[in-house]
Structure 1
Amino acid sequence: MNNDLRFFNYFLFTQQSISTFEKCPLKFKKRYLEGLKWKSVISEELNRRREIGNNFHIMAHRYFLGIDTGFTEGIEGYEELSRWIEALKTYFPKTDDALYLPEYKLRMAKETLRLEANFDLLVVKKGGIEIWDWKTPGKNKAVDERLKGERLKGSLQSMVYLFVLKEQAQRVVQREIDCSNIRMFYWQPEPVSVLAEISYTDEMHEEFRHTLKRKIDGILEYDYGSFDKKLYRKNCMYCEFNWFCNNERVDFEAVEEDEDFLDQLDWDSIEELR
């Protein structure tokens, strides 16, 4: 009997799990197939930033639900969060002609294309659907926003989110939506900026279909007996399984100095380092 979770119908791929496999197949196996979540001691600063980022997502969720944020001066990063949530309210005044769906999850399964997307916000308007994703500022707030925006446009996250929404749009609005009526935005609260805006097309959808299928099929066909850790050594210093593979602990001082790494780090992956 094959107990490899990759082949179970309920196993869904996310942008984070696919990215993890590309960085290191063994980490994917440990994290997603074996369900190992080793705890590591992370630095105080990285933990602080994780907590503030998570709190902002919670506050945004509650704002779009129309309930009180419930945050008081005692929370970590209160002054930053106060500025950020006010920026959010100013930039996104809620209107009666739009439907706001915060922290919305969509899943799909068509042959090997078994995917899950977790959206920070979907906004349904008469003209179509918008995806909004929050990017809270990192340590280096002076990072080149143009370069950051270009990375986001070409990211695996953009690919998964746009593709899944198009495929499952009927679950959201009870009708088919043309690609031309779907857009995705990456937004940061400080300084207030749309880091990237993506207008979807039929050509992009077919390209994403083939790319995602190729990536997922590669994961399904991978033989762990052929794993060569030397090919993935550059990612070890950030991995919670570094002790298992190399008898070395994660060097969080090096992590905090690597602005390129931190700029691309999302809060889900920081969770894996806890």
Structure 2
Amino acid sequence: MDLFFKYLTYEKRYSPHTLTSYRTDLGRFAEYLAQTYQLSDPAEADHTIIRSWIVSLLQNKMEARSVNRKIACLRSYYKFLLKTGVISQNPMLKVTAPKAGKKLPAFLPQETMQQLFEQIEFADTFEGWRDKTVLELLYGTGMRLSELIGLTENAIDFHKKTIKVLGKGQKERILPLNASLENCLETYLKHKTLEFPDNKPAALLVTAKTQPLYPKLVYRIVKHYTGLVTTSQHRNPHMLRHTFATHLLDNGADLNAIKELLGHSSLAATQVYTHNSIEKLKAIFEKAHPKA
């Protein structure tokens, strides 16, 4: 297992978040094998044993999407074992993933986002401007949580009005800065310089103790401020990414352009946002058409 995770880290360059999830999933699978089949090595499991674990997860009311993530982990693991010669046959070839119903991405209306940035007061302090910058970056660029945390000051080019993001698989992409975000970044950086005059951290977004922001803190920031303008239960960083993409599409942006901005590897991942727009069109049609 240690070799597998080194392979994912250094060769496949998986994100820390994915690695944590895979460690948890593989650990729970190993526990199941030990308790149910007295197997100490997952390499000894065949497709019937793997299927029995999947059935047990579904019987415990786990959502199909979560089960499929665990299956994806096992697919990677057994592919690795096959590649390194630990096993001669891949048991996952006989394992079928359960069908998961597609959920439409949750997003906030444009009026709600306007209210967040125009009516909510942020403290005129380092932390107040940092929190506002977090929200402006997530909604203004559609970047992922891991990309936000990994930003450095060098990533910003105020002359070209762009920011460089390091995405999945260490792929770089350049994102444009809107005027509001640019002003927010400039003010935040001034406060950051005043806050840490002797030892300014290289990470763009930091805590009061000069450490880079961590996921739980970003979640808290997003949940707190969006809670001031909405009662939605989906108040998290990824929801702002969905909001960014949906608002672009609603305002006529090309789907391929949205794909590039989001850093998706295929258009299929981006097309989910068209469903939100179709629902909006249906609502307008039903409200406005005489025969609706």
Provide the TM-score with structure 2 as the length reference: 0.25
Compare the two structures and name the one with the higher helix fraction: 2
Structure with bigger gyration radius: 2
**Bigger relative contact order (CA 8 A; separation at least 6):** 1
